[in-house]
């Protein structure tokens, strides 16, 4: 392995760089794109705002506060933060958002329309996406499911 050396701009050899690329000798460290907590919260807010017209009348005035309560909980934000190896869902984990929306729909926060309609509005496409089937799956972590149900129940008071 050759030692690295600092090169002045005037001495930079583009041809040598291109040859190193062709020979497979050039490696660039890929930095993990870390998404900040605030960015996840903003992206999720914008995403769920698309289905604002599907909110039930009972929760019409409370849905924004309900999402604020959910997004103020670090465990939910961690659930919604994409993992570093995610090829899709780079801003936030859409699968987990769909799971939360599915639970909220079961609790009566959102009107009960079919999954395809939710998918079409959220993804803004007529095509089926892999996120749609996660609406009916609920949250896998039981303690988070219980916490979400408690948040919804507390908002009913």
Regarding pTM above 0.85, the answer is no
* pLDDT at residue 100 in the model: 95
What range defines the domain where residue 125 resides?
A: 37-156
Closest by Cα among 133, 6, 17, 143 to 75: 143
Is residue 78 one of the residues assigned to a domain? yes
Distances (CA, A) of 22 to 1, 28, 50: 18, 14, 46
Is residue 8 one of the residues assigned to a domain? no
- Provide the domain count of the chain: 1
Helical (H) or strand (E) element with 79: helix 74-80
Is residue 13 one of the residues assigned to a domain? no
Is residue 107 one of the residues assigned to a domain? yes
Residue by residue, pLDDT tens for the chain (157 residues) are 556 666 666 667 777 777 777 777 776 655 555 678 889 999 999 999 999 999 999 999 999 999 999 999 999 999 998 876 555 657 888 999 999 999 999 999 999 888 889 999 998 888 888 888 888 888 889 999 999 999 999 876 5
Is residue 9 one of the residues assigned to a domain? no
């Amino acid at each position: 392995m050759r030692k690295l050396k600092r090169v002045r701009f005037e001495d930079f050899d583009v041809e040598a760089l291109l040859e190193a690329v062709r020979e497979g000798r050039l490696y660039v460290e890929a930095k993990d794109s870390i998404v900040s907590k605030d960015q996840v919260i903003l992206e999720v807010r914008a995403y769920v705002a698309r289905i604002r017209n599907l909110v039930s009348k009972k929760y019409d005035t409370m849905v924004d506060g309900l999402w604020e309560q959910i997004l103020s909980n670090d465990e939910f934000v961690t659930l919604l933060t994409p993992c570093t190896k995610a090829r899709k869902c780079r801003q936030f984990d859409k699968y987990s958002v769909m799971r939360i929306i599915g639970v909220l729909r079961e609790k009566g926060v959102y009107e009960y329309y079919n999954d395809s309609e939710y998918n079409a509005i959220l993804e803004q496409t007529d095509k089926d996406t892999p996120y749609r089937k996660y609406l009916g799956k609920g949250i896998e972590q039981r303690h988070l499911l219980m916490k979400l149900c408690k948040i919804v129940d507390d908002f009913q008071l």
